[in-house]
Amino acid sequence: MNLFPADPDENLLPADGIVHYHGPIFPPQLADRYLHNLLEDIPWKHDEVRMYGKHITTARKVAWYGDSNFSYTYSGTTKQALPWTPELAAIKAKVEALSGTRFNSCLLNLYHDGGEGMAWHSDDESSLGKNTTIASVSFGAERKFSLKHRVTGETVSVELEHGSLLEMKGATQSHWLHCVPKTKKVTAPRVNLTFRTMKQGR
């Protein structure tokens, strides 16, 4: 748990990017309802990617939603976005109002427990563009989110709470990597929604 109340105007990064943590943006009962419905109603599938010439199926599960006829290609695979559900549209509207950014797609990740995480990476600027905004909403188990500067190695971490919003803006993807570390302490699931403004067909 974070020791101090979130200040959405505070930049968590010391330089070369902007990360704002809003803390929980939904009341607990609504966040609980969203988590339950996301776990039950989303057609979750294992992600399949090609890394270093090998076909890899991830432990975590994913789903892809977006505007009408939206598609996205990465690792040689083209994914067609599913149409927004009423609840995803409502979450998106709340996030857009707080961030002042219009999003056209959302990647959903399901981490069944702390044994599933995300290795150090940055999001693909060839499909997002430079200095883009990515809004990350978390439901379920509280998990650590860490960022590491590409050159200095300096790290910054925040605990992402149930129903919370984190924004990565500006040059963050160019200068910082981020990850969700694995942990044996977490036994409950977490659903993460990352709202993005993607280039069509990339």
Q: For residue 69, is it left (φ>0), alpha (ψ between -120 and 50) or beta?
A: left
Query: Would residue 13 count as lying in a domain?
Result: no
Q: For residue 96, what are its two tokens?
A: 């857009």
* Cα–Cα distance for residue pair 71/148, rounded to 1 Å: 30
Checking if the pLDDT of 202 tops 50, the result is no
Residue 190: which domain range? Answer: 18-196
Query: Would residue 180 count as lying in a domain?
Result: yes
* Cα–Cα distance for residue pair 100/96, rounded to 1 Å: 5
| Per-residue pLDDT reduced to its tens digit, 106-144 | 999 999 999 999 999 887 655 555 668 999 999 999 999
**Contact between residue 191 and residue 110 where contact means Cβ atoms under 8 Å apart:** yes
Domain count across the chain:
1
Query: Would residue 3 count as lying in a domain?
Result: no
Tell me, what CATH number does 155's domain have?
2.60.120.590
* Cα–Cα distance for residue pair 76/121, rounded to 1 Å: 18
Output the furthest CA–CA distance in the chain (Å, rounded).
45
DSSP state letters, 24-87:
E-S-HHHHHHHHHHHHHHS--EEEEEEETTEEEEEEEEEEEEESTT-EEEETTEEEEPEEPPHH
Q: Chain-wide mean pLDDT for the chain?
A: 88
Checking if the pLDDT of 48 tops 70, the result is no
User: What is the reported pLDDT for 46?
Assistant: 83
**Residue that wins the pLDDT comparison between 8 and 37:** 37
The residues with which 164 forms a beta bridge, in sequence order, are: 24, 138
User: What is the reported pLDDT for 80?
Assistant: 82
Checking if the pLDDT of 201 tops 70, the result is no
Query: Would residue 11 count as lying in a domain?
Result: no
Q: For residue 16, is it left (φ>0), alpha (ψ between -120 and 50) or beta?
A: left
Query: Would residue 154 count as lying in a domain?
Result: yes
| Per-residue pLDDT reduced to its tens digit, 141-154 | 999 999 999 999 99
| Per-residue pLDDT reduced to its tens digit, 76-110 | 667 788 999 999 999 999 999 999 999 999 999 99
Query: Would residue 2 count as lying in a domain?
Result: no
User: What is the reported pLDDT for 77?
Assistant: 66
How large a percentage of the chain has pLDDT more than 90? 70
Q: For residue 125, what are its two tokens?
A: 């600027």
**Residue that wins the pLDDT comparison between 178 and 74:** 178
Query: Would residue 201 count as lying in a domain?
Result: no
**Contact between residue 94 and residue 159 where contact means Cβ atoms under 8 Å apart:** no
Mean pLDDT is lowest, of 25-39, 54-68, 171-185, for: 54-68
pLDDT band for 51, please (50, 70, 90 cuts).
low
* Cα–Cα distance for residue pair 177/122, rounded to 1 Å: 5
Mean pLDDT is lowest, of 7-21, 62-76, 92-106, for: 62-76
Query: Would residue 4 count as lying in a domain?
Result: no
